[in-house]
């Protein structure tokens, strides 16, 4: 008898590739997600997150690679494997001229949920996303946050094994954003596998058991927060608010001992440095000598933003 | 199939929730049918005006017989100008001017000419056919009487007519059916107008509904449907079904309103229904193709209106195909509208059955099939490519 204790990943994708004309959107993306695990794809806009999840959800044809969910291959033409996947797209993919309940009933039928079970499940989902009081209101009367919550609710309707959320908090007010993040935390805790894409470092840090950092269509690093931060070492991220010749100042800073990277931005220079407090005076002197006027200093403990900067030389919001 | 119906039903619900769509599907066609029906329709009683100033026997006989006809309303007038004006204003479908000294002219053995006044369009010519029948009857009686006088078999016209009347008793009447080489002569003027409206509106409304498909794609709902265990074929079939049901509903609605309100006779009903179903499928295919080709609903709305009205005009929905030149009539048949109108025309005028319109139905089904297959291919590509 073999060892059956080895958990089977809910999602396995390997070597995904997709080009649009000459542009390579996804270039060898691969990762897996276990049951009850929340996996974050963290990267700036245009990094290849949405293209990757469109391929994983079977919505977009791929040039190469493979995807399987619960052991079943997924392509644009497979149907049954999609029963295990719930997709929450970035856009608000709901009918504005239908009520919340009607939208859920419609998608519930497409997921193949029986009529009796569906009516009950619709109310359960509306409870989960906090819209039960507005179940019969047309969604074009909803706020942006309410629409986002319904958008998530549709993905939850059939209790999928894998829930894919593509930047679900874009354009959402802080209160709704917090409600969404709390819901996602609960789903992960309940045993659902969650694939979460975001360009908000703090969301990835809060929600994700593991994070894949994606840039220019490739996953440049993957691991738990602790593992990723370790890539940077005991380095801090320093943001110098400055004016003047920022490019020259960044070059000067990169020449200092202990400085890993210095990137000029819009009114600031991002610096990754070992023991920031000990080297701050030296850094300020170098920046000023190179022609910059420093007006403020912020020091951050190592985080995913610093990791991204360290790995790609770019800020997440670039 | 459950998913196809779910998508189709949702399409219909969404279209019906839009007040503008309701206006175009039900209100506007009804308004136009009423307006056109009142102007040209067979739902109103034609009006006949008679200018009669004499009181002779023959003149009175004609007037009384015309007054007794119950398929039109008859008014007696005493001034020719009044008759002309009433006809010009559309207050009368036909004016009949009996000349002064009508009886005297006949008694003198001279031909008396009765003048008809009617507009070139409208139902005046059908009324004229009935009037002419009555006048012809009297003319035949008078000719027979004159013959007797000329042959010396009767002393005068009055005596001769008495002989003619006595001889005609017991003679079997010969029913004469009026026919004409003009295709417009044997149907109510509105019968074909209703068919033109039906075809025009079904197509225009179908194309307008393509905007909903574009919106569905823009919102990402179409793509999201494919993230569920639903095949692209099912999604396309569902979207197609929804648009088909709307087009069919509108077609049936127009047909029923025209029949009930204006007595339009659609001919053999199962065959008429088949034409409506086939044309609804054509409109659906065109809508799906536009909805899956364009990415902007306003752009699609403009193109849809242009195509809907343009093809409608070319296909004979605004001006009857019968008055097209032979070349233009051939050109018109590049549109499905002309084939649908041909089928309706045969059903309405010729009392045709299924067998007589098989060609037209086959062409319409061909149009629908090609359009729907193209649309399905485009729609699938627009989502997954």
d(CA B5, CA B18): 20
The 10s digit of each residue's pLDDT in B342-353 is 898 888 877 788
Q: Quick one: average pLDDT of B113-120? A: 82
Our CA-based measurement puts residue B372 at a distance from the nearest CA of chain A, in whole angstroms, of 20
Contact assignment for A95 to B385 by CB distance below 8 Å: no
Residue % of chain B over a pLDDT of 90 = 11
On whether both A140 and A256 belong to a single domain, the answer is no
Instruction: List A residues 111-130 in contact with B (Cβ-Cβ < 8 A).
Output: 111-112
Count other Cβ atoms within 10 Å, centred on residue B121. 12
Does A142 map to a domain?
A: yes
pLDDT at A234: 66
On whether both A129 and A255 belong to a single domain, the answer is no
Terminal alpha carbon distance of chain A: 53
Residues in chain B with CB shorter than 8 Å from the CB of A91 are: 219-220
On whether both A207 and A107 belong to a single domain, the answer is yes
Our CA-based measurement puts residue A90 at a distance from the nearest CA of chain B, in whole angstroms, of 9
Residues in chain A with CB shorter than 8 Å from the CB of B3 are: 109-110, 112
Query: How many CA atoms lie within 13 Å of B351's alpha carbon, on the beta-carbon side?
Result: 1
What is the pLDDT confidence band of residue B217, given thresholds at 50, 70 and 90?
confident
pLDDT at B192: 62
Instruction: List A residues 169-188 in contact with B (Cβ-Cβ < 8 A).
Output: none
Contact assignment for A109 to B384 by CB distance below 8 Å: no
Phi, psi of B184, rounded to the nearest 5 degrees: -85, -5
Q: Which residues of B touch A (CB under 8 A)?
A: 2-3, 6-7, 10, 13-14, 17-18, 216, 219-221, 223-232, 383-385
Our CA-based measurement puts residue B250 at a distance from the nearest CA of chain A, in whole angstroms, of 21
Our CA-based measurement puts residue A104 at a distance from the nearest CA of chain B, in whole angstroms, of 12
The reply to whether A95 touches chain B by the CB within 8 Å rule is: yes
Q: Quick one: average pLDDT of B24-38? A: 75
Best B219, B228, B230 member to test A by mutation, with max A CBs in 10 Å, is B228
- Pick the range with the lowest mean pLDDT from A38-47, B181-190, B279-288: B181-190
pLDDT at B214: 85
On whether both A264 and A214 belong to a single domain, the answer is no
Q: Residues near A307 by Cβ (< 8 Å), separated by ≥ 6?
A: A213, A221, A228, A229, A231, A232
On whether both A75 and A168 belong to a single domain, the answer is yes
Residue A237 backbone class (left: φ over 0; alpha: ψ -120 to 50; beta: rest):
beta
Our CA-based measurement puts residue B221 at a distance from the nearest CA of chain A, in whole angstroms, of 5
Domain boundary among A170, A193, A228: A228
For residue B328, the Cα-to-chain-centroid distance in whole angstroms is 20
Q: Which of B6, B228, B385 sits opposite A82 (nearest CB)?
A: B228
With CA atoms as reference, the chain A residue closest to B224 would be: A93
The 10s digit of each residue's pLDDT in B46-67 is 788 999 888 888 889 888 888 8
What is the pLDDT confidence band of residue B182, given thresholds at 50, 70 and 90?
very low
With CA atoms as reference, the chain B residue closest to A154 would be: B224
d(CA A145, CA A132): 15
In the beta sheet, which residues pair with residue A222? A212
CATH number at residue A222: 3.40.50.300
On whether both A176 and A258 belong to a single domain, the answer is no
Contact assignment for A94 to B219 by CB distance below 8 Å: yes
pLDDT at A111: 92
pLDDT at A87: 92
Q: Quick one: average pLDDT of B136-150? A: 85
On whether both A145 and A242 belong to a single domain, the answer is no
pLDDT at A185: 87
Residues in chain B with CB shorter than 8 Å from the CB of A137 are: none
Count other Cβ atoms within 10 Å, centred on residue A25. 23
Q: Which of B3, B219, B223 sits opposite A110 (nearest CB)?
A: B3
Contact assignment for A109 to B3 by CB distance below 8 Å: yes
CB B263 within 8 A of CB B42: yes
Q: Is residue B42's pLDDT more than 50?
A: no
Residues in chain A with CB shorter than 8 Å from the CB of B237 are: none
Contact assignment for B10 to A98 by CB distance below 8 Å: yes
Q: Quick one: average pLDDT of B327-337? A: 88
Residues in chain A with CB shorter than 8 Å from the CB of B2 are: 109
Does A201 map to a domain?
A: yes
Terminal alpha carbon distance of chain B: 26
Q: Which of B13, B17, B227 sits opposite A58 (nearest CB)?
A: B227
d(CA A113, CA A96): 22
The reply to whether A83 touches chain B by the CB within 8 Å rule is: yes
Query: How many CA atoms lie within 13 Å of B157's alpha carbon, on the beta-carbon side?
Result: 15
d(CA B361, CA B235): 27
CB B202 within 8 A of CB B247: yes
Contact assignment for B219 to A97 by CB distance below 8 Å: no
CB B30 within 8 A of CB B38: no
With CA atoms as reference, the chain A residue closest to B232 would be: A77
Query: DSSP assignment of B206-257, as one string?
Result: HHHTHHHHHHHHHHTHHHHHHHSS--HHHHHHHHHHHHHHHHHHHHHHHHHH
What is the pLDDT confidence band of residue B40, given thresholds at 50, 70 and 90?
low
Domain boundary among A184, A210, A228: A228
Q: Is residue B364's pLDDT more than 90?
A: yes
Mean pLDDT of all residues belonging to chain B: 82
Q: Quickly tell me which residue has 């190179």 as its tokens.
A: A290
Q: Residues near B249 by Cβ (< 8 Å), separated by ≥ 6?
A: B25
Tokens of B109: 């053995």
Residues in chain A with CB shorter than 8 Å from the CB of B383 are: 59
Contact assignment for A85 to B2 by CB distance below 8 Å: no
With CA atoms as reference, the chain B residue closest to A63 would be: B385
With CA atoms as reference, the chain A residue closest to B2 would be: A109
On whether both A16 and A153 belong to a single domain, the answer is yes
pLDDT at B179: 44
Residues of the domain holding A273 = 234-301
Contact assignment for B7 to A110 by CB distance below 8 Å: yes
Residues in chain B with CB shorter than 8 Å from the CB of A98 are: 10, 13-14
On whether both A222 and A253 belong to a single domain, the answer is no
Residues in chain A with CB shorter than 8 Å from the CB of B1 are: none
Domain ranges within chain B, ordered by starting residue: 2-41+189-384, 47-168
Contact assignment for A97 to B383 by CB distance below 8 Å: no
pLDDT at B171: 58
In order along its 318 residues, chain A shows pLDDT tens digits of 444 556 678 999 999 999 998 899 999 999 999 988 999 998 888 889 889 999 999 988 899 999 999 889 998 888 888 889 999 998 889 999 999 999 999 999 999 898 889 999 999 999 888 889 999 999 999 988 889 889 999 998 988 999 999 988 887 788 888 888 888 888 888 888 999 998 888 888 888 999 998 988 999 889 988 888 887 676 788 899 999 999 999 999 999 988 888 989 889 998 988 888 888 899 999 999 999 999 999 888 777 877 887 777 776 654
Q: Is residue B32's pLDDT more than 80?
A: no
Q: How far is CA B341 from CA B34, B192, B203, B266, in A?
A: 20, 8, 13, 12
Residues in chain B with CB shorter than 8 Å from the CB of A92 are: 219-220
pLDDT at A246: 92
Contact assignment for B226 to A76 by CB distance below 8 Å: yes
d(CA B119, CA A81): 71
Q: Quickly tell me which residue has 């027979």 as its tokens.
A: B144
Q: Quickly tell me which residue has 């942006």 as its tokens.
A: A144
On whether both A83 and A222 belong to a single domain, the answer is yes
The 10s digit of each residue's pLDDT in B236-277 is 888 889 889 988 988 898 888 888 877 778 888 899 999 999
Our CA-based measurement puts residue B6 at a distance from the nearest CA of chain A, in whole angstroms, of 7
Residues in chain A with CB shorter than 8 Å from the CB of B238 are: none
Our CA-based measurement puts residue A161 at a distance from the nearest CA of chain B, in whole angstroms, of 13
Closest by CA position to B138, among listed B108, B102, B171, B172: B102
pLDDT at A231: 78
Does A307 map to a domain?
A: no
Does A5 map to a domain?
A: no
Contact assignment for A112 to B385 by CB distance below 8 Å: no
Tell whether the torsion through CA atoms of B275, B279, B280 and B282 is positive or negative: positive
Query: How many CA atoms lie within 13 Å of A128's alpha carbon, on the beta-carbon side?
Result: 25
On whether both A78 and A19 belong to a single domain, the answer is yes
Q: How many residues does chain B have?
A: 385
On whether both A98 and A181 belong to a single domain, the answer is yes
With CA atoms as reference, the chain A residue closest to B235 would be: A110
Q: What stretches of chain A show up as alpha helix (H) in DSSP?
A: 49-56, 100-110, 115-128, 144-156, 174-189, 201-207, 225-232, 246-254, 276-289, 304-312
- Burial degree of A52 (CB within 10 A; 0-12, 13-18, 19+): buried
| Counted domains in chain A | 2
Tell whether the torsion through CA atoms of A250, A252, A255 and A257 is positive or negative: negative
pLDDT at A316: 62
Contact assignment for A94 to B18 by CB distance below 8 Å: no
Residues in chain A with CB shorter than 8 Å from the CB of B227 are: 57-59, 82, 85, 87, 89
Best A60, A82, A97, A151 member to test B by mutation, with max B CBs in 10 Å, is A97
Contact assignment for A111 to B228 by CB distance below 8 Å: yes
Does A173 map to a domain?
A: yes
d(CA A95, CA B221): 7
With respect to CATH, is domain B47-168 assigned 1.10.260? Answer: no
A193-198 and A162-166 as β-strands: parallel, antiparallel, unpaired? parallel
């Amino acid at each position: 008898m073999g060892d059956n204790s080895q958990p089977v990943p809910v999602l396995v994708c390997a070597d995904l590739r997709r080009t649009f004309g000459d542009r390579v959107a996804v270039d060898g993306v691969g990762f897996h997600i276990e049951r009850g695990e929340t996996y974050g794809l963290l990267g700036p806009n245009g990094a290849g997150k949405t293209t990757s999840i469109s391929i994983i959800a079977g919505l977009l044809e791929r040039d190469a690679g493979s995807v399987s969910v619960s052991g079943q291959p997924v392509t644009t033409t497979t149907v049954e494997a999609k029963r295990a996947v719930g997709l929450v797209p970035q856009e608000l993919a709901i009918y504005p001229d239908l009520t919340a309940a009607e939208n859920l009933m419609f998608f519930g039928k497409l997921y193949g949920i029986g009529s009796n079970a569906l009516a009950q499940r619709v109310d359960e989902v509306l409870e989960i996303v906090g819209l039960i009081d507005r179940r019969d209101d047309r969604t074009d009367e909803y706020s942006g946050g309410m629409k986002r919550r319904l958008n998530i609710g549709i993905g939850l309707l059939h209790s999928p094994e894998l829930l894919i959320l593509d930047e679900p908090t874009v354009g959402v007010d802080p209160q709704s954003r917090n409600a969404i993040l709390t819901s996602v935390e609960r789903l992960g805790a309940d045993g659902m596998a969650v694939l979460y894409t975001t360009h908000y470092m703090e969301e990835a840090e809060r929600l994700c058991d593991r994070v894949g950092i994606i840039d220019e269509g490739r996953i440049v690093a993957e691991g738990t927060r602790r593992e990723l931060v370790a890539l940077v070492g005991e380095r801090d991220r320093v943001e110098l608010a400055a004016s003047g010749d920022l490019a020259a100042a960044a070059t000067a800073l990169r020449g200092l001992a202990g400085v890993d990277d210095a990137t000029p931005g819009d009114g600031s220079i991002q610096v990754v440095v070992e023991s920031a407090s000990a080297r701050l005076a030296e850094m300020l002197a170098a920046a000023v000598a190179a022609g910059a006027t420093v007006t403020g200093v912020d020091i951050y403990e190592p985080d995913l933003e610093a990791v991204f900067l360290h790995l790609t030389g770019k800020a997440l919001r670039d | 199939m459950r998913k196809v119906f779910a998508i189709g039903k949702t399409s219909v619900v969404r279209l019906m929730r839009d007040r503008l769509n309701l206006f175009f599907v039900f209100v506007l066609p009804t308004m136009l049918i009423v307006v056109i029906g009142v102007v040209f329709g067979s739902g109103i009683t034609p009006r006949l005006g008679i200018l009669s100033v004499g009181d002779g026997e023959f003149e009175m006989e004609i007037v009384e017989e015309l007054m007794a006809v119950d398929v039109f309303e008859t008014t007696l007038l005493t001034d020719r100008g009044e008759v002309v004006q009433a006809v010009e204003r559309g207050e009368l479908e036909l004016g009949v001017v009996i000349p002064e000294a009508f009886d005297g002219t006949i008694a003198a053995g001279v031909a008396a000419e009765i003048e008809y006044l009617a507009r070139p369009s409208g139902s005046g010519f059908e009324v004229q056919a009935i009037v002419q029948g009555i006048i012809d009857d009297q003319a035949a009686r008078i000719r027979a009487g004159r013959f007797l006088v000329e042959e010396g078999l009767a002393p005068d016209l009055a005596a001769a007519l008495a002989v003619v009347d006595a001889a005609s008793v017991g003679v079997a009447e010969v029913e004469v059916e009026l026919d004409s080489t003009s295709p417009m002569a044997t149907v109510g003027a509105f019968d074909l107008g209703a068919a033109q409206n039906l075809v025009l509106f079904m197509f225009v409304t179908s194309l307008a509904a393509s905007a909903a498909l574009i919106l569905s794609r823009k919102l990402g709902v179409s793509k999201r449907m494919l993230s569920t265990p639903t095949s692209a074929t099912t999604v396309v079939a569902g979207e197609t079904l929804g648009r088909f049901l709307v087009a069919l509903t509108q077609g049936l609605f127009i047909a029923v309103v025209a029949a009930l309100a204006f007595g339009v006779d659609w001919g053999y009903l199962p065959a008429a229904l088949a034409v409506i179903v086939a044309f609804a499928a054509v409109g659906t295919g065109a809508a799906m193709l536009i909805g899956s080709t364009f990415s902007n609903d306003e752009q699609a709305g403009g193109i849809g209106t242009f195509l809907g009205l343009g093809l409608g005009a070319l296909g004979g929905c605004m001006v009857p195909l019968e008055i097209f030149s032979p070349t233009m009539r051939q050109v018109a048949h590049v549109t499905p509208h002309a084939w649908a109108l041909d089928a309706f025309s045969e059903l309405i005028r010729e009392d045709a059955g299924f067998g007589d319109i098989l060609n037209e139905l086959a062409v319409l089904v061909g149009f629908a099939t090609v359009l729907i297959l193209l649309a399905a291919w485009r729609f699938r590509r627009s989502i997954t490519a």
